């Protein structure tokens, strides 16, 4: 049995992307909060639709790790339906170990809808209620990557924390989803304390810490590190990302690309999973931080979160071609 490098845990979904033709975007001052508007009670033409099976934060991370050369697996639940079968087929095509997957009779596979306008998207989400049991680990992974789960899974999180406590050799990467952030840090204190690598965006960092002032990146990094993670990364969209390993604070810019984004879904997943994968491959944090923006840059040039994910050789080719300005700097 080959060593399992990377076990992603989270929900898996099917997502049809609907490319809208007629809509308007209205933003508050500073464009910090925007709304998409369409005619009420009308028939609205769309450009085209693309069906994406086997996506979601954890599934995206599993595919990212596999393309980068890791022995990757996914623990997620699908229903006993055609969409569940498509998810399993897709994972197999990506060389994901599906032995940790669960097909649950009587359930429907998670199905979201992505409304895509210009380069942004709004996702309509619905999570089915699966049984969520702890996976057996006949092959203990080097890394577990935990991400978005449904809103009734607090007991599952606590059981996962016990599983990780029983296997101190496992490195934990935690990239929380909306529900996990809403639980609060006290409910998930055991997971935060057990985390080796933690990543979220700047707005999420403020939400987790209950802080309105988001311009103090150093304060956000320290605040998250105090929860327990050994390495903390905060992404800030087109402005780049920041990291703290307990002693050094670092900044990495976006990978330079003259092209504008085509569709932004999965940029955050690509960054976080790529940094985690680089760490799992034995790369130092400074180099891992240079890997992340390259995969994000590639993903936003394609539709969906997985099409643009790079192989290790493709990623290193971009890294080798990077300008001298593309370096990690002290913050």
What average pLDDT score do residues 58-64 get?
Answer: 98
Residue 31 has pLDDT above 70, yes or no: no
The answer to the question of residue 48 being in a domain is no
Counting the structural domains of the chain, the total is: 1
Contacts of 42 (CB under 8 A, 6+ apart): none
**Is residue 312 classed exposed, middle or buried when 0-12, 13-18 and 19+ CB atoms within 10 A define those classes?**
middle
**What's the pLDDT tens digit per position in 89-99?**
999 999 999 99
The answer to the question of residue 252 being in a domain is yes
Residue 69 has pLDDT above 70, yes or no: yes
The answer to the question of residue 116 being in a domain is no
The answer to the question of residue 284 being in a domain is yes
**What's the pLDDT tens digit per position in 195-251?**
999 999 999 999 999 998 888 999 999 999 999 999 999 999 989 999 999 999 999
The answer to the question of residue 61 being in a domain is yes
What is the pLDDT, as a whole number, of residue 32? 65
User: How many CA atoms within 13 Å lie on the side-chain side of 73?
Assistant: 22
Q: Which of 171, 190, 199, 169 is nearest to 280 (CA)?
A: 171
CA dist 22 to 4, 39, 46, Å?
Answer: 47, 9, 7
What is the pLDDT, as a whole number, of residue 11? 97
Residue 173 has pLDDT above 80, yes or no: yes
Residue numbers of the domain that contains 209: 6-12+54-109+129-330
pTM, two decimal places = 0.93
Cα(202)–Cα(255) distance, rounded to whole angstroms? 19
Residue 182 has pLDDT above 80, yes or no: yes
CATH number reported for the structural domain that contains residue 239 in this entry = 3.40.1190.20
Percent of the chain with pLDDT over 70: 98
Query: In what order do the strands lie in the sheet containing 13-20?
Result: 46-55, 13-20, 113-117, 120-124
The answer to the question of residue 242 being in a domain is yes
Percent of the chain with pLDDT over 90: 77
The answer to the question of residue 215 being in a domain is yes
**What's the pLDDT tens digit per position in 104-163?**
999 999 999 988 888 788 888 888 999 999 999 999 999 999 999 998 999 999 999 999
Q: Which of 113, 152, 133, 95 is nearest to 9 (CA)?
A: 133
What residues does 199 pair with on adjacent strands?
A: 233
């Amino acid at each position: 049995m080959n060593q399992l490098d990377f076990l992603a845990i989270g929900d898996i979904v099917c997502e049809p992307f609907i490319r809208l033709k007629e809509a308007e975007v209205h933003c508050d001052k500073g464009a910090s909060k925007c709304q998409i508007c369409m005619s009420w009670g009308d028939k609205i033409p769309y450009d085209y639709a693309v069906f994406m099976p086997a996506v979601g934060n954890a599934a995206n991370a599993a595919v990212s790790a596999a393309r980068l050369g890791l022995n990757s697996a996914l623990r997620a639940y699908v229903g006993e339906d055609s969409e569940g079968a498509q998810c399993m087929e897709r994972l197999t095509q990506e060389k994901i170990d599906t032995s940790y997957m669960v097909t649950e009779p009587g359930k429907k596979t998670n199905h979201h809808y992505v409304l895509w306008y210009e380069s942004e998207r709004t996702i309509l989400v619905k999570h089915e209620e699966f049984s969520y049991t702890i996976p057996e680990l006949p092959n203990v992974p080097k890394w577990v990557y935990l991400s978005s789960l449904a809103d009734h899974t607090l007991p599952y999180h606590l059981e996962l924390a016990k599983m990780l406590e029983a296997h101190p050799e496992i490195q934990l990467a935690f990239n929380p989803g909306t529900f996990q952030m809403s639980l609060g840090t006290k409910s998930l204190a055991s997971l935060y304390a057990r985390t080796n690598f933690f990543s979220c965006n700047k707005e999420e960092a403020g939400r987790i810490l209950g802080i309105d002032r988001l311009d103090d990146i150093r304060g956000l990094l320290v605040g998250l590190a105090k929860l327990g993670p050994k390495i903390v990364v905060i992404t800030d969209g087109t402005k780049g990302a920041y990291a703290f390993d307990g002693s050094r604070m670092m900044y990495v810019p976006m990978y330079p690309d003259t092209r504008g984004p085509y569709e932004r879904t999965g940029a955050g997943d690509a960054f976080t999973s790529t940094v985690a994968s680089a760490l799992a491959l034995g790369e130092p944090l400074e180099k891992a931080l240079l890997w992340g923006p390259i995969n994000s840059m590639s993903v936003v040039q394609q539709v969906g979160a997985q099409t643009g994910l790079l192989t290790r050789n493709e990623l290193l080719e971009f890294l080798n071609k990077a300008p001298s300005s593309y370096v990690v700097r002290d913050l």
